[in-house]
Structure 1
Amino acid sequence: MSNSSRLLRLFLAFTIFFLAFHFRTPAWSNWGNFLFWLIIIISSFLILTEIWAFHKIFRGKRRRLSIVILTLAWFSLSISTASQVKFLLTKQTVLNKLTAETPAPTAPPAPPAPPALTTPLKVANLGKHFVIGYRDFDELQLLVEKQGIAGVFITNRNVHGKTKAEIKQEIQTLQEIRKNQGLPPLLIAADQEGGIVSKLSPPLTKLPSLGRIIDDDKSIDQQKQKVIEYAAKQAQELAEIGVNLNFAPVVDLNKGVKIVNDKYSKITRRAISENKEVVAKVALWYCQTLEQYNVKCTIKHFPGLGRVNTDTHIAEAELNASVEELMNDDWVPFREVMKNTQAFTMIGHAKLMAVDPENAASFSHKVVTEIIRQNWQHNGVLITDDFGMQAVYGSKDGVANATVKSINAGVDLILLSYDKNLYYDAMYALMTAAKEGKLDAEVLGKSGERIDRLSSVIK
């Protein structure tokens, strides 16, 4: 065998070794299965090739190189197989548990009992804490039938090439299942901010971002009607296809922070204004208008990304500001909308360093329980930003522990919008925590009440 051939195999060995540790990461979820089989095929080829070559080489550097390639290929095969098997077993365990607890179609649904320390939690009660994205509609439909989720996130990959009527029909199919189960409608969520985040355009009209329609040279009060008309247009189109929850508006203040490696966050392009009063008024008008069309708004991303200099999609991030400074500035729009609407609040993944430097806000007890639930006495629905982001997935807690922490902190809904496979890990983590008595039954009960109360007024 030539040196170039052997070096190529060494390169392949190192490549698949790297892939074996990363093929299940959310960023690669589109190609996860393809990468798994690629690792299996290449590692098997390398193992067979090097075993054959090993017997032809009796000594020297070539034999040592062959051992290196064999070792890398063997570990790649073992690691990837173990990871895939673990995921499949986790998924099957969750589905089996859901199946065991799902009432027969002809049986009248029993009213859900509030969780208690002495009563085992049903998986369906845990399922109401998840909103997930999807790529396979049949798999999504199965989870709805098994009462494994509370909501669905739809985005461009789900609507590409479809008409409004086709999208509406798919949503109605899911809602009909819920109706037959005697359950409130699913939350059908979208990320239709306008501007660069217009995930349902086309087929919906692509509008500019809210910040683009505001004229800084005019009084904001004089522009109220313009904001209302904008929100009405957006809400009407969302409601027409069956979307009842929009992940907008962005109420992070535009602090002009430039992030070096900003692939997805781009808050300066999405924020309404740097002026807290302007943002508060525009966000309030927007949310109040959406509610007239039975579409809930979502203010995001508490505790605020305007001052953060890292994109939480790709890395952990820190918010370095005092609570007093944030209360007087960044949090004004959040509090104004919280007090005057039924808006959902999205909790972001930046660490609020003055309060909890160890945990992202989305699973921080100090941020969620102590600030929002206790100090502010806010009893509205809280939803996390996508738990597939690196700030959570790559944290020391990972998705599983972060999910348990988040629910125990008083967050109501865990969003898994990009990589739906993470749902099974997160659900399994809650199942295990419930079994081991590690879920706060009182917090979970109040959360269930909030979700049920909001769900009862959603159409």
Structure 2
Amino acid sequence: MRKTEYKNRRRKFLIIFIGILSVVLAAEIGYIALLYNRDNSSSPDSVNKDMGLNTPSYQTDTEDTSAMTPAPATKPANTSEKPVQQSDNIKEQINSMSLDEKIGQLVIVGLDGYEADEHARQMIEEYRVGGFILFTSNIQNSNQMLELLNSLKNINRANKVPLFLSVDEEGGRVSRLPDEFLKIPSNQIIGKLNNSSVSHQVGSIIGEELKSFGMNMDFAPVLDINSNPKNPIIGDRAFGTGPNLVSKLGVQTMKGLQSQNIIPVVKHFPGHGDTSTDSHVGLPKVDNDLKRLRNFELKPFARAIENGAEAVMVAHILLPEIDPDNPASFSKTIINDVLRLEMNYDGVVITDDFTMGAIVKNYNIGQAAVKSILAGGDIVLVCHDFEKQKAVISALKDAAQSGQLPMDRIDRSVIRILRLKQEHKITDTPASTVDPESINKKISALLK
């Protein structure tokens, strides 16, 4: 009886011991597998797959896009923003800024006439705007233009942050500078030359022109591919009809501008070349999917980003295959998921002008501006109409105060803006004199 009881106890002990040992071994194996999966998933490719993104190469080594391996046509998943790099002094500056000062940095505006009028003064003193853009309606001659820019700087000197002073100076038919300057050839002409050195010189000369006036930003170069003969707005503004040529020459013009400490704003992301509607008049609709964009329109922008693009202008184009509800200029799919996450871009994103027909004929301008910042944009461009400018600023502030536009989202944009202004050492110091003759000699030499 005792021997049988001893055997039963021994059998129970062995069963319990084996059970405990099995549990421990299973836990160890699971922990090792967890470590293995974590380590392998930390690579960029694995992370992108988890987010529903891919990592296309955007190669531009050949114009024959049919020979390229097609990228998946899937839409990227909506994901959160990446962290924004910032220095300690920017962090301190952000913490010291009021809501009005932060909201103001999210807007660049235009002005009426040849002088800094009361509306311009109000935009600086009350609304703390981040910058101004000039058009031919603001420019009579070199002396007047210089005086206008210096007066804007003088008004802004009481503010903490210097102004972006910008213009559309592309060369060809899109030129705002005074008639004292010779005109730069169009991108189409530069494209036919197909000379990287000439393209770089064009950017450098334009940069020198703008720098002589004390400007610091140019909405150029155009990186659109002129692929649609019926396009009413791009045409000779493009370097050519293929991604390789546009990439090569566009990047060189961008670098030429940067060589003069002018910020280039490459445009019009994700590509305005295949539209048949002028976005100044209406809302263009393009039925290309993401696969097509990756293999064609996005290539020049990808090359520019690889080469240090600092600012990107996003177009008012509706791409129903990618985002059926929002134009690119306030589409989270286009701005955050494609441009920032997939293309790894952490620079400043600026919209095209919100007073264009594409916006004002189809959307509430204030609500659209809020959606643009929520989508990952940084600056809303409002080129005309003082009331519309106030409406955009008011909508952004109201959205911030209600919580619709989180302060973290605002701060990310302000960090990028301050970082760019600091990197270019932008100040409100007035410029002194302009010498068109010396620059015209360089333009003449370019044209020979």
Please indicate, yes or no, whether the TM-score normalized by the shorter chain is above 0.5.
yes
Matched, 1:258 2:230: yes
Other-structure match for 1:300: 267
2:192 to 181, 201, 215: 215
Alignment of 1:158-177 (within 5 A): 158-160=138-140, 162=141, 164-177=142-155
Other-structure match for 1:118: none
Other-structure match for 1:400: 366
Matched, 1:196 2:173: yes
Q: Which amino acid in the other structure matches residue 195 of structure 1? A: G
1:350 counterpart SS class? coil
Other-structure match for 1:421: 387
Structure 2, unaligned runs of 5 or more: 1-91, 427-448
2:94 counterpart SS class? coil
Q: Could you tell me how far apart the structure 2 residues matched to 1:229 and 1:378 are? A: 26
Structure 1 residue 157, shift from structure 2 partner = 0.7
2:285 counterpart SS class? strand
> 2:202–2:256: 8 Å Cα contact kept in structure 1?
no
Aligned length: 331
Structure 1, unaligned runs of 5 or more: 1-109, 116-120
Cα separation, partners in 2 of 1:273 and 1:291, compared to 1, 3 Å: same
Other-structure match for 1:58: none
1:449 to 415, 434, 448: 415
Higher relative contact order (CA 8 A, sep 6+): 2
Q: Which amino acid in the other structure matches residue 104 of structure 2? A: G
Q: Which amino acid in the other structure matches residue 128 of structure 2? A: G
> 1:407–1:444: 8 Å Cα contact kept in structure 2?
yes
TM-superposition CA deviations, 1:134-173 (whole Å, max 9, x none): 005222123223352101001101112x3x2332232122
1:153 counterpart SS class? strand
Q: Could you tell me how far apart the structure 2 residues matched to 1:205 and 1:387 are? A: 31
Structure 1 residue 182, shift from structure 2 partner = 3.6
Question: Which structure's CA Rg is the greater one?
Answer: 2
1:315 to 282, 285, 292: 282
Q: Could you tell me how far apart the structure 2 residues matched to 1:114 and 1:442 are? A: 15
Structure 1 residue 293, shift from structure 2 partner = 0.8
Superposition RMSD in Å: 1.9
Q: Could you tell me how far apart the structure 2 residues matched to 1:420 and 1:281 are? A: 39
1:112 to 64, 80, 94: 94
Other-structure match for 2:219: 247
> 2:109–2:133: 8 Å Cα contact kept in structure 1?
yes
TM-superposition CA deviations, 1:388-412 (whole Å, max 9, x none): 11111112x3201100000111111
Structure 1 residue 210, shift from structure 2 partner = 1.9
Structure 1 residue 114, shift from structure 2 partner = 7.8
Structure 1 residue 451, shift from structure 2 partner = 0.3
1:383 counterpart SS class? strand
TM-superposition CA deviations, 1:288-317 (whole Å, max 9, x none): 111111111111111111111111111121
Larger CA deviation: 420-429 vs 378-387? 420-429
TM-score (norm 1): 0.69
Q: Could you tell me how far apart the structure 2 residues matched to 1:124 and 1:338 are? A: 29
TM-superposition CA deviations, 1:298-340 (whole Å, max 9, x none): 1111111111111111112112112111111111100111221
Matched, 1:386 2:364: no
Q: Which amino acid in the other structure matches residue 446 of structure 1? A: R
Q: Which amino acid in the other structure matches residue 221 of structure 2? A: P
Q: Which amino acid in the other structure matches residue 94 of structure 2? A: P
Alignment of 1:11-410 (within 5 A): 111-113=93-95, 122-135=99-112, 137-138=116-117, 139-160=119-140, 162=141, 164-183=142-161, 185-215=162-192, 220=194, 223-259=195-231, 262=232, 265=233, 267-395=234-362, 397-410=363-376
Q: Which amino acid in the other structure matches residue 110 of structure 2? A: G
Q: Which amino acid in the other structure matches residue 226 of structure 1? A: V
Cα separation, partners in 2 of 1:364 and 1:178, compared to 1, 3 Å: same
Structure 1 residue 123, shift from structure 2 partner = 1.5
TM-superposition CA deviations, 1:376-397 (whole Å, max 9, x none): 22111110000011111112x3
Structure 1 residue 239, shift from structure 2 partner = 0.7
Cα separation, partners in 2 of 1:420 and 1:301, compared to 1, 3 Å: farther
Cα separation, partners in 2 of 1:225 and 1:375, compared to 1, 3 Å: closer
Q: Could you tell me how far apart the structure 2 residues matched to 1:445 and 1:287 are? A: 27
1:382 counterpart SS class? strand
> 1:344–1:383: 8 Å Cα contact kept in structure 2?
yes
Q: Could you tell me how far apart the structure 2 residues matched to 1:296 and 1:253 are? A: 22
Q: Which amino acid in the other structure matches residue 435 of structure 1? A: Q
1:192 counterpart SS class? coil
Cα separation, partners in 2 of 1:149 and 1:203, compared to 1, 3 Å: farther
Q: Could you tell me how far apart the structure 2 residues matched to 1:400 and 1:203 are? A: 39
Larger CA deviation: 371-380 vs 273-282? 371-380
Structure 1 residue 228, shift from structure 2 partner = 1.9
Larger CA deviation: 342-351 vs 172-181? 172-181
Other-structure match for 1:63: none
TM-score (norm 2): 0.70
1:378 counterpart SS class? coil
TM-superposition CA deviations, 1:338-373 (whole Å, max 9, x none): 221243111000012221011111011111111112
Cα separation, partners in 2 of 1:457 and 1:177, compared to 1, 3 Å: farther
1:189 counterpart SS class? strand
